[in-house]
Structure 1
Amino acid sequence: MNPALRIDHVRLTPVLVKDPPLLNTQGVHQPLTPRLVVEVVTAGGVVGLGETYGDTKYLDLARPLAEALPGRLVTDVNGLFVLAAEVCGTAAAKDADGRVDAGGLRGVQTADKLLLSVVSAVETACLDALGRSLGLPVHALLGGRVRDEVEYSAYLFYKWGAHPGAAPEEADPWGEALDPAGLVEQARRFARLHGFGSFKLKGGVFAPDREIAAIRALAEAFPGAPLRLDPNGAWSVETSLAVARELEGLPALEYLEDPATGTAAMAEVAAGTHLPLATNMCVTTLAEVPEAFARGAVSIVLCDHHYWGGLHRTRELAALCGTYGIGLSMHSNTHLGISLAAMTQVAATLPALHHACDTHYPWLTEDVITTAPVFRAGRLAVTDTPGLGVELDRDRLADLHRRWAEDDGRYRDRDDAAAMRAADPEWRPTRW
């Protein structure tokens, strides 16, 4: 094996990135959100990029893993899982406390889920370095692309016009969206700017009848455009079924995503409606697959390379879904351009990607890459540039890291509930 493919060192750079006041069932996005940029540097001087969550619990795992990587080959991505368990297992178990992870709304947090999110960034960086070394795009390392473009969906949010306590000049340029008219205008702007032809609404914020009205307004404003509604498990089984009955006659509705929390509740909802149910919460690891598939709890799984442990694991999930006749889409959390490039590379290799992928990316005003990707007709072209096809803007990376270094700890761990209580100290998450 070429010694130039051996890892010399790994750089970890946590950053804080501006985030709009987007509402969800856990609260509201804080003004800044943490991300972690991973650079795997080979003995040949090639630098591979990866990205994942930047909260303290992820950093605490990434640091010992980074220290253990020098001397290993960037081709040894399968060995990352064993290595991570060896060097990070105790810390991961300590951090996994069984709470709902507000940062990703991914269901019950476990040690395995924390580790997989860290490994995903290292695996991506290794593949990026390998692709750059060989002159091949990452999709070629995954077996080759099956499409030239990847379709994405506009991600609609109820939102405030500004963060609590913000000065007038800090108002969010997208303005407020708290009713159907505001969401329709938001969707029109997404369509105008990026050409998106499908729309997903983050629900669980208001009473279900208000969110039903929003979906109906979107269906009227965009005839035939595929729609999704995701309340992040905020509804009871009874409420989920009531909403399903209201929306079953709406041809544009592709699916309800995680209307209720947990596989048992999802299975009960699925048994009572013809609407497809998607999940990003009750199936986020292989261990959660057998029960959910056997009970018919979901029709569609939203893959996410951060959750599943990387790009190869995402392809394994896709094959498993194909075997059981389960549809496939792609989940998104607040991410930078490195993750978007990785999402696009792996999505290009999935033959049975049945629905447009989610992405938060158009909401962000800051990034660490030199050239922002351009959505055309809601799609991103699949690049053949070696590796992921993106380059670091080191000045911008340094600026965003400086912001993290100077933070007093307020924003180093995402906490949507704390941000909401800054506006309303009595606020508590609502379940309908």
Structure 2
Amino acid sequence: MTADLTITAVHLTPILVADPPLLNTQGVHQPYTPRLIIEVETADGITGVGETYGDAKYLELAQPFAKKLMGRQVSDLNGLFTVADEVAVDDSRVSGRVDVGGLRGVQTADKLRLSVVSGFEVACLDALGKALGLPVHALLGGKVRDSVEYSAYLFYKWAAHPEGVPAEPDDWGAAVDPAGVVAQARAFTERYGFTSFKLKGGVFPPDEEIAAIRALAEAFPGHPLRLDPNGAWSVETSLRVAAELGDVLEYLEDPALGTPAMAEVAAKAGVPLATNMCVTTFGEIPEAFAKGAVQVVLSDHHYWGGLRATQQLAAVSRTFGVGVSMHSNTHLGISLAAMTHVAATVPDLHHACDSHYPWQSEDVLTERIAFEGGRVTVSDAPGLGVELDRDRLAFLHRRWLDDDGALRDRDDAAAMRVAHPDWVTPSVPRW
């Protein structure tokens, strides 16, 4: 009997999930961050799930997008982009603004659409896989590895959110100096078995972050290390840091802002440069690759428009001799499962992927995804191989409904102003 793959219902559930006080160059994470859970249901009663950003601008685009999917085939993945082009974007939401947390560069309507499409594509692939009895990686051409390696994502961090701010407790403790960063890395290793480490920089003056990387190199000799200041440095500062840390860094991620500055750094640094800021769309590839501005592109299926676009990016990068790995922003288990499926299909994945997942104490799945030896096993179950916890989803949605709107859009600078009222979003380069 042939499965009926007609989409008969789409459910959008915005939620707020707990987030620790992680620091970056823009400020600090809010105590709760918005995510959007997408469910696509077929005529046969099969439901596929996806996840993307939950800020208001994404939800406002997802709602009309969802209505246009009714009656379409869940297998019509290319049609998702056609539908997205038919949905108008409020220019006031994106014009001249920077993206989530200020860490992706300038927003455009097309970037916004792709971030919405990505969640729906994953939901459709999940439903299609369940209907056909195939894992998502099989729908993408088949896996080339049985597990995917992830890197410990280290952050400078306060011990807790500011006093008086409602928040969920965490047991990670503070990390505001080299000793704290090393202690955090040890905790990641003990809990999850990670063997490579990435530090989110751009928080303290460069010499302090150089000291932190040196401390990590001493504590974990021979382990891959990365530093990501999110474009907070000048070309001169970037070159100085590269010279100081060239013997221990696997790569330096987005030290300077924009392709021209990155190209200047790359020409002299002697250290590979990675990016998730100056190359986040296919249109940004020609200039960056022609100028040799980046040696590793960090894909993020939320940015690029889904899992198949990630495969396309990997193929283009391979053609030009540019490495590829995966970027992460605050995400839950649905996104981690999707990342793992597509990463399993990319032949030349020579760098461990990023993941925020260990920082997220809350999830919408019946069972958390496990890291063993710093790796996630690729599921062979139909679809993504995950199941929604309906009670937990309802609880996190209720938190979103009860919010007065202050947390429905991520704003790291606003969160910092709770503790430091005079804080303004730093101009770049900061140093």
Same fold (TM over 0.5): yes
- In structure 1, stretches of 5+ residues that fail to align are none
Partner of 2:149: 151
- Cα–Cα, structure 1 residues 304 and 104, in superposed 2: closer, same or farther, change >3 Å? farther
The question of whether the paired residues in 2 share the 8 Å contact of 1:48 and 1:129 is answered with: yes
Q: Secondary structure at the match of 2:313?
A: helix
Give distance in 1, aligned partners of 2:357 and 2:399.
20
- Give the counterpart of 1:193 among 182, 191, 194: 191
Q: Deviations over 1:268-313 (max 9, x none)?
A: 1111111000000000000000000000000000011000000000
- Cα–Cα, structure 1 residues 168 and 410, in superposed 2: closer, same or farther, change >3 Å? closer
- Cα–Cα, structure 1 residues 313 and 168, in superposed 2: closer, same or farther, change >3 Å? closer
Partner of 1:101: 99
Residue 408 of structure 1 deviates from its aligned partner by: 0.2
- Give the counterpart of 1:305 among 301, 306, 316: 301
Partner of 2:354: 358
Give distance in 2, aligned partners of 1:170 and 1:362.
15
Residue 165 of structure 1 deviates from its aligned partner by: 2.2
Partner of 1:322: 318
Give distance in 2, aligned partners of 1:169 and 1:364.
13
Name the amino acid aligned to 2:41: V
Partner of 2:365: 369
- Cα–Cα, structure 1 residues 18 and 291, in superposed 2: closer, same or farther, change >3 Å? same
- How do 1:28-427 and structure 2 match up within 5 A? 28-86=28-86, 88=87, 90-103=88-101, 105-166=103-164, 171-250=169-248, 253-427=249-423
The question of whether the paired residues in 1 share the 8 Å contact of 2:26 and 2:102 is answered with: no
Residue 91 of structure 1 deviates from its aligned partner by: 1.9
Name the amino acid aligned to 2:419: A
Name the amino acid aligned to 1:12: L
The question of whether the paired residues in 1 share the 8 Å contact of 2:246 and 2:270 is answered with: yes
Residue 242 of structure 1 deviates from its aligned partner by: 1.0
The question of whether the paired residues in 2 share the 8 Å contact of 1:161 and 1:171 is answered with: no
TM-score by length of 2: 0.97
Identical amino acids, percent of aligned pairs = 71
Q: Secondary structure at the match of 1:225?
A: coil
Q: Secondary structure at the match of 1:291?
A: helix
Q: Secondary structure at the match of 2:338?
A: helix
The question of whether the paired residues in 2 share the 8 Å contact of 1:92 and 1:115 is answered with: no
The question of whether the paired residues in 1 share the 8 Å contact of 2:6 and 2:42 is answered with: yes
Q: Secondary structure at the match of 2:270?
A: coil
- In structure 2, stretches of 5+ residues that fail to align are none
Give distance in 1, aligned partners of 2:193 and 2:372.
6
Name the amino acid aligned to 1:73: Q
Give distance in 1, aligned partners of 2:167 and 2:137.
43
Size of the alignment, in residue pairs? Answer: 428
Give distance in 2, aligned partners of 1:169 and 1:109.
29
- Cα–Cα, structure 1 residues 349 and 104, in superposed 2: closer, same or farther, change >3 Å? farther
- Cα–Cα, structure 1 residues 11 and 228, in superposed 2: closer, same or farther, change >3 Å? same
Farther off after superposition, 277-286 or 166-175 = 166-175
Residue 166 of structure 1 deviates from its aligned partner by: 4.0
- Cα–Cα, structure 1 residues 349 and 191, in superposed 2: closer, same or farther, change >3 Å? same
Name the amino acid aligned to 1:10: V
Name the amino acid aligned to 1:354: H
Partner of 1:19: 19
Give distance in 2, aligned partners of 1:401 and 1:407.
10
Name the amino acid aligned to 1:426: D
Q: Secondary structure at the match of 2:329?
A: coil
Give distance in 2, aligned partners of 1:274 and 1:155.
24
Q: CA RMSD in A?
A: 1.4
Residue 96 of structure 1 deviates from its aligned partner by: 1.5
Residue 105 of structure 1 deviates from its aligned partner by: 1.2
Residue 94 of structure 1 deviates from its aligned partner by: 3.9
Name the amino acid aligned to 2:35: R
Give distance in 1, aligned partners of 2:324 and 2:361.
29
Give distance in 2, aligned partners of 1:407 and 1:324.
47
Name the amino acid aligned to 2:77: V
Q: Deviations over 1:383-405 (max 9, x none)?
A: 10000000000000000000001
Residue 98 of structure 1 deviates from its aligned partner by: 2.2
Farther off after superposition, 179-188 or 101-110 = 101-110
Residue 247 of structure 1 deviates from its aligned partner by: 1.1
Give distance in 1, aligned partners of 2:166 and 2:5.
51
Give distance in 1, aligned partners of 2:73 and 2:168.
46
The question of whether the paired residues in 2 share the 8 Å contact of 1:92 and 1:114 is answered with: no
Give distance in 1, aligned partners of 2:12 and 2:32.
19
Name the amino acid aligned to 1:161: A
TM-score by length of 1: 0.97
Residue 102 of structure 1 deviates from its aligned partner by: 3.7
Name the amino acid aligned to 1:52: T
Q: Deviations over 1:13-61 (max 9, x none)?
A: 0000000000001100000000000000001100000000000000000
Residue 107 of structure 1 deviates from its aligned partner by: 1.0
Farther off after superposition, 94-103 or 64-73 = 94-103
Give distance in 1, aligned partners of 2:268 and 2:4.
57
The question of whether the paired residues in 1 share the 8 Å contact of 2:13 and 2:37 is answered with: yes
Q: Secondary structure at the match of 1:272?
A: helix
Give distance in 1, aligned partners of 2:167 and 2:316.
50
The question of whether the paired residues in 2 share the 8 Å contact of 1:228 and 1:255 is answered with: yes
Give distance in 2, aligned partners of 1:108 and 1:187.
32
The question of whether the paired residues in 2 share the 8 Å contact of 1:92 and 1:112 is answered with: no
The question of whether the paired residues in 2 share the 8 Å contact of 1:25 and 1:204 is answered with: yes
Structure 2 residue 1 is matched with structure 1 residue 5? no
